[in-house]
Structure 1
Amino acid sequence: MKVYEARVRRSGDWWFVEVPGVDMGYTQARKLADVEPMVRDMLSLLLDVPADSFAVSVSEPGRVT
Protein backbone atom coordinates (compact mmCIF):
# COMPACT_ATOMS: atom_id res chain seq x y z
CA MET A 1 0.00 0.00 0.00
CA LYS A 2 1.31 3.45 -0.94
CA VAL A 3 2.01 5.75 2.02
CA TYR A 4 1.80 9.52 1.61
CA GLU A 5 3.53 11.79 4.12
CA ALA A 6 1.55 14.82 5.25
CA ARG A 7 3.93 17.44 6.63
CA VAL A 8 2.21 19.86 8.97
CA ARG A 9 3.12 23.13 10.61
CA ARG A 10 1.14 25.50 12.77
CA SER A 11 0.15 28.85 11.24
CA GLY A 12 -1.93 30.91 13.65
CA ASP A 13 -5.11 28.99 14.44
CA TRP A 14 -4.62 26.61 11.50
CA TRP A 15 -2.45 23.65 10.56
CA PHE A 16 -0.89 24.09 7.11
CA VAL A 17 -0.47 20.73 5.37
CA GLU A 18 1.81 19.78 2.48
CA VAL A 19 2.05 16.39 0.78
CA PRO A 20 5.44 16.30 -0.98
CA GLY A 21 5.46 14.82 -4.47
CA VAL A 22 1.78 15.53 -5.15
CA ASP A 23 0.92 18.46 -7.43
CA MET A 24 -1.39 20.86 -5.58
CA GLY A 25 -0.93 18.69 -2.48
CA TYR A 26 -1.78 21.41 0.03
CA THR A 27 -4.63 21.84 2.48
CA GLN A 28 -5.28 23.18 5.97
CA ALA A 29 -7.14 22.07 9.06
CA ARG A 30 -8.22 23.65 12.31
CA LYS A 31 -7.28 20.67 14.48
CA LEU A 32 -4.36 18.30 14.14
CA ALA A 33 -6.82 15.40 14.44
CA ASP A 34 -8.53 16.65 11.26
CA VAL A 35 -5.36 16.52 9.13
CA GLU A 36 -5.45 12.82 8.20
CA PRO A 37 -9.08 12.80 6.97
CA MET A 38 -8.54 16.10 5.10
CA VAL A 39 -5.44 14.71 3.38
CA ARG A 40 -7.22 11.46 2.58
CA ASP A 41 -10.11 13.35 0.92
CA MET A 42 -7.73 15.66 -0.95
CA LEU A 43 -5.59 12.83 -2.30
CA SER A 44 -8.61 10.79 -3.29
CA LEU A 45 -9.90 13.70 -5.39
CA LEU A 46 -6.53 14.77 -6.84
CA LEU A 47 -5.39 11.26 -7.72
CA ASP A 48 -8.82 9.86 -8.60
CA VAL A 49 -8.36 6.82 -6.36
CA PRO A 50 -10.44 5.37 -3.51
CA ALA A 51 -9.73 7.00 -0.13
CA ASP A 52 -8.98 3.61 1.41
CA SER A 53 -6.41 2.62 -1.24
CA PHE A 54 -3.46 4.36 0.47
CA ALA A 55 -2.10 5.24 3.90
CA VAL A 56 -1.38 8.70 5.32
CA SER A 57 1.48 9.45 7.70
CA VAL A 58 1.29 12.82 9.49
CA SER A 59 4.62 14.37 10.51
CA GLU A 60 5.22 17.54 12.44
CA PRO A 61 8.69 19.14 12.49
CA GLY A 62 10.32 18.58 15.85
CA ARG A 63 7.93 15.80 16.87
CA VAL A 64 9.21 12.25 17.08
CA THR A 65 6.55 9.63 16.37
Structure 2
Amino acid sequence: MTTYTARATRDNDRFWLVHVAELGQYTQARNVAEIETMARDLIATLRHIEPDSIDLEIDIQLPGSAREHLARVASLREQEAEARKAAAAEARAAATELKRAGLSLRDIGKLLGVSFQRAGQLTSDG
Protein backbone atom coordinates (compact mmCIF):
# COMPACT_ATOMS: atom_id res chain seq x y z
CA MET A 1 0.00 0.00 0.00
CA THR A 2 1.30 3.42 -0.92
CA THR A 3 1.58 5.94 1.86
CA TYR A 4 0.54 9.40 0.77
CA THR A 5 1.74 12.60 2.41
CA ALA A 6 -0.48 15.65 2.49
CA ARG A 7 1.45 18.84 3.25
CA ALA A 8 -0.81 21.69 4.33
CA THR A 9 0.26 25.32 4.28
CA ARG A 10 -1.72 28.44 4.96
CA ASP A 11 -2.77 30.23 1.75
CA ASN A 12 -3.54 33.97 1.99
CA ASP A 13 -4.67 33.62 5.60
CA ARG A 14 -7.96 32.16 4.42
CA PHE A 15 -7.57 28.57 3.29
CA TRP A 16 -5.20 25.68 3.82
CA LEU A 17 -3.48 24.62 0.60
CA VAL A 18 -3.03 20.84 0.69
CA HIS A 19 -0.38 19.31 -1.57
CA VAL A 20 -0.24 15.55 -2.13
CA ALA A 21 3.30 15.11 -3.45
CA GLU A 22 2.80 11.55 -4.71
CA LEU A 23 0.11 12.85 -7.05
CA GLY A 24 1.56 16.29 -7.73
CA GLN A 25 -1.89 17.68 -7.02
CA TYR A 26 -3.42 20.28 -4.70
CA THR A 27 -6.70 20.74 -2.91
CA GLN A 28 -7.99 23.25 -0.37
CA ALA A 29 -9.38 23.02 3.13
CA ARG A 30 -11.23 25.73 5.02
CA ASN A 31 -9.85 24.63 8.39
CA VAL A 32 -7.45 22.15 9.98
CA ALA A 33 -10.25 19.66 10.63
CA GLU A 34 -10.93 19.44 6.87
CA ILE A 35 -7.34 18.81 5.77
CA GLU A 36 -7.41 15.03 6.10
CA THR A 37 -10.85 14.69 4.54
CA MET A 38 -9.95 16.84 1.57
CA ALA A 39 -6.65 15.03 1.01
CA ARG A 40 -8.36 11.63 1.18
CA ASP A 41 -11.06 12.79 -1.21
CA LEU A 42 -8.45 14.04 -3.71
CA ILE A 43 -6.48 10.79 -3.58
CA ALA A 44 -9.59 8.61 -3.74
CA THR A 45 -10.95 10.52 -6.72
CA LEU A 46 -7.71 10.39 -8.71
CA ARG A 47 -6.83 6.78 -7.81
CA HIS A 48 -10.41 5.44 -7.94
CA ILE A 49 -10.15 3.92 -4.46
CA GLU A 50 -12.08 4.20 -1.23
CA PRO A 51 -11.01 7.10 1.02
CA ASP A 52 -10.83 4.78 4.06
CA SER A 53 -8.32 2.51 2.31
CA ILE A 54 -5.69 5.25 2.05
CA ASP A 55 -2.60 5.32 4.27
CA LEU A 56 -2.16 9.04 4.82
CA GLU A 57 0.30 11.18 6.74
CA ILE A 58 -0.58 14.82 7.39
CA ASP A 59 2.21 17.40 7.58
CA ILE A 60 0.87 20.78 8.68
CA GLN A 61 3.37 23.55 8.06
CA LEU A 62 3.36 26.15 10.82
CA PRO A 63 5.51 29.21 11.47
CA GLY A 64 8.69 28.34 13.40
CA SER A 65 7.69 30.26 16.49
CA ALA A 66 4.33 28.47 16.66
CA ARG A 67 6.06 25.09 16.31
CA GLU A 68 8.37 26.04 19.18
CA HIS A 69 5.41 26.99 21.37
CA LEU A 70 3.59 23.75 20.53
CA ALA A 71 6.70 21.72 21.34
CA ARG A 72 6.93 23.52 24.68
CA VAL A 73 3.25 22.81 25.34
CA ALA A 74 3.85 19.10 24.73
CA SER A 75 6.86 19.11 27.02
CA LEU A 76 5.01 20.94 29.78
CA ARG A 77 2.07 18.56 29.51
CA GLU A 78 4.42 15.60 29.93
CA GLN A 79 5.95 17.28 33.00
CA GLU A 80 2.46 17.96 34.33
CA ALA A 81 1.49 14.30 33.96
CA GLU A 82 4.66 13.23 35.77
CA ALA A 83 4.04 15.79 38.53
CA ARG A 84 0.45 14.57 38.97
CA LYS A 85 1.67 10.99 39.22
CA ALA A 86 4.28 11.98 41.82
CA ALA A 87 1.71 14.05 43.75
CA ALA A 88 -0.68 11.08 43.81
CA ALA A 89 2.07 8.82 45.17
CA GLU A 90 2.90 11.37 47.87
CA ALA A 91 -0.77 11.74 48.80
CA ARG A 92 -1.04 7.96 49.12
CA ALA A 93 2.10 7.85 51.27
CA ALA A 94 0.88 10.71 53.48
CA ALA A 95 -2.55 9.12 53.89
CA THR A 96 -0.99 5.79 54.82
CA GLU A 97 1.28 7.44 57.40
CA LEU A 98 -1.61 9.39 58.88
CA LYS A 99 -3.74 6.23 59.10
CA ARG A 100 -0.89 4.43 60.88
CA ALA A 101 -0.74 7.36 63.29
CA GLY A 102 -4.37 6.67 64.16
CA LEU A 103 -6.10 9.55 62.41
CA SER A 104 -9.66 9.06 61.16
CA LEU A 105 -10.45 9.05 57.45
CA ARG A 106 -12.31 12.33 57.92
CA ASP A 107 -9.22 13.93 59.46
CA ILE A 108 -6.96 12.49 56.76
CA GLY A 109 -9.30 13.77 54.07
CA LYS A 110 -9.39 17.22 55.66
CA LEU A 111 -5.57 17.38 55.88
CA LEU A 112 -5.13 16.22 52.27
CA GLY A 113 -7.94 18.37 50.91
CA VAL A 114 -9.97 15.38 49.70
CA SER A 115 -13.18 13.67 50.79
CA PHE A 116 -13.06 11.04 53.51
CA GLN A 117 -14.08 8.52 50.83
CA ARG A 118 -11.01 9.42 48.80
CA ALA A 119 -8.90 9.20 51.94
CA GLY A 120 -10.22 5.67 52.35
CA GLN A 121 -9.23 4.84 48.78
CA LEU A 122 -5.76 6.27 49.33
CA THR A 123 -5.23 4.16 52.44
CA SER A 124 -6.64 0.91 51.08
CA ASP A 125 -4.30 -1.90 50.09
CA GLY A 126 -6.08 -2.60 46.79
TM-score normalised per structure 1: 0.81
Deviation string for 1:1-44 (max 9, x for gaps)? 43211001001210001000204x21001101101011111111
More strand by share: 1
Q: Distance in 2 between matches of 1:40 and 1:19?
A: 10
Of structures 1 and 2, the one with the larger relative CO (CA 8 A, separation 6+) is 1
Q: Report the counterpart of residue 5 of structure 2 in structure 1.
A: 5
Offset of 1:61 from its aligned partner? 2.8
Q: Distance in 2 between matches of 1:33 and 1:57?
A: 14
TM-score normalised per structure 2: 0.45
Gaps of 5+ in 1: none
Offset of 1:55 from its aligned partner? 1.8
Q: Distance in 1 between matches of 2:20 and 2:3?
A: 11
Look at both structures and tell me which one has the larger radius of gyration over its CA atoms: 2
Gaps of 5+ in 2: 72-126
Q: Which runs of 4+ in 1 moved over 3 A?
A: none
- SS of the equivalent of 1:18 reads strand
State the AA in 2 paired with 1:44.
A
Q: Report the counterpart of residue 48 of structure 1 in structure 2.
A: 48
Q: Distance in 2 between matches of 1:56 and 1:47?
A: 14
More helix by share: 2
Offset of 1:51 from its aligned partner? 1.2
CA RMSD of aligned residues (A): 1.7
| Segment drifting more, 26-35 vs 49-58 | 49-58
